[in-house]
């Protein structure tokens, strides 16, 4: 049987209000590693109270930040969380009972996404939030590629799936949802300019409509009332904002001219 030492890896930026609950939900882990990216609050001090190993730095590139955290982990398994995520009690029990016998190399774990304490079940997707992700994996079986926002990941080996969920406290309210949209679209614009990969304007605006319809109807966002409308609108606006912000960076020039 392969080793089953678990490293809880948390990537956080100014999460002093949530880091204790995040770490506390995974205290069963053999090791706690917290990557502090440009934090200026008490996140690090609180994490140290739980015996966490701190990795502090400045990583505008998300892929590099995640890779740094993975490299610092010594466990056979890595359980990767953000500061606003928490393991449900059911998931902890499932992990403890599953790992000693499993032949899988990584697990897809479903998410329960919350806005302001309200569980929003429908309408998620694209940049807004995920329904599930590969948050538990043997070391060496998940690789983050370079990228500022939502970089590509590479998974290797046999795929498993957990039944129980991670609770994700995505935003406090609609204002914080909009702020996240603004930040993410700015980062995506910078990435596309750096890569000389500005999409076609007509394609961007086509995606506006397709993403709205996918979120609101395909993912049943209509069942969430006004919040479903917000999720669909923000999902649709993301590629458009990233496109026009990239054009603003270019100052009217083609990306090929830079």
Q: What is the pLDDT of residues 199-212, one digit of tens each?
A: 888 999 999 999 99
The count of other CB atoms within 10 Å of the CB of residue 62 is 20
Q: Report the pLDDT averaged over residues 109-137.
A: 90
Same domain, 91 and 21: yes
**Residue 258: pLDDT over 70:** no
Token reading at 119: 């569980």
pLDDT of residue 141: 97
pTM of the model: 0.85
Question: Pick the residue with more confidence: 129 or 3?
Answer: 129
Q: What is the pLDDT of residues 151-167, one digit of tens each?
A: 899 999 999 999 999 99
Same domain, 63 and 149: yes
Domain count, the chain: 2
pLDDT of residue 166: 97
Domain boundary pick from 127, 152, 171: 171
Same domain, 159 and 32: yes
State which H helix or E strand residue 229 sits in.
helix 226-250
Q: Report the pLDDT averaged over residues 221-236.
A: 95
Q: What percent of the chain has a predicted confidence (pLDDT) above 70? A: 96
**Residue 238: pLDDT over 60:** yes
Domain boundary pick from 149, 171, 193: 171
The answer to whether residue 25 sits within a structural domain is yes
Q: Report the pLDDT averaged over residues 72-88.
A: 96
Q: For 94-103, 180-189, 247-256, which range has the lowest pLDDT when averaged over its residues?
A: 247-256
pLDDT of residue 253: 60
pLDDT of residue 194: 87
**Domain span holding position 202:** 174-257
Q: What average pLDDT does the chain have?
A: 92
The answer to whether residue 89 sits within a structural domain is yes
| Cα(214)–Cα(86) distance, integer angstroms | 28
Domain boundary pick from 123, 142, 171: 171
The answer to whether residue 51 sits within a structural domain is yes
The answer to whether the beta carbons of residues 244 and 198 sit under 8 Å apart is no
Using pLDDT thresholds of 50, 70 and 90, give the confidence band for residue 1. Answer: very low
pLDDT of residue 191: 86
Query: Using CB atoms within 10 A of its CB, is residue 116 exposed (0-12), middle (13-18) or buried (19+)?
Result: middle
């Amino acid at each position: 049987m392969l080793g089953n030492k678990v490293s809880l890896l948390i990537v956080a930026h100014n999460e002093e209000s949530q880091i204790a609950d995040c770490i506390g939900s995974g205290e069963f882990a053999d090791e706690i590693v917290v990557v502090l990216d440009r934090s200026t609050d008490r996140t690090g001090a609180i994490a140290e109270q739980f015996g966490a190993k701190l990795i502090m730095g400045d990583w505008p590139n998300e892929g590099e930040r995640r890779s740094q955290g993975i490299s610092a982990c010594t466990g056979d398994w890595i359980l990767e969380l953000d500061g606003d995520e928490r393991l449900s009690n059911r998931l902890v029990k499932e992990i403890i009972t599953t790992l000693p016998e499993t032949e899988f190399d990584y697990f897809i774990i479903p998410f329960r996404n919350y806005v302001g304490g309200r569980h929003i079940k429908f309408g998620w997707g694209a940049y807004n939030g995920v329904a599930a992700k590969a948050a538990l994996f043997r070391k060496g079986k998940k690789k983050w590629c370079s990228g500022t926002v939502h970089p590509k990941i590479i998974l290797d080996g046999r795929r498993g799936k957990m039944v129980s969920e991670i609770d994700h406290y995505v935003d406090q309210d609609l204002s914080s949802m909009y702020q996240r949209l603004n930040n993410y679209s700015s980062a995506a614009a910078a990435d596309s300019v750096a890569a000389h990969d500005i999409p076609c304007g007509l394609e961007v605006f086509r995606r506006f409509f397709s993403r709205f319809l996918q979120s609101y109807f395909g993912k049943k966002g209509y069942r969430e009332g006004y919040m479903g409308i917000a999720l669909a609108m923000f999902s649709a606006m993301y590629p458009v904002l990233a496109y026009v912000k990239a054009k603003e960076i270019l100052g009217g020039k083609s990306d090929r001219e830079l």
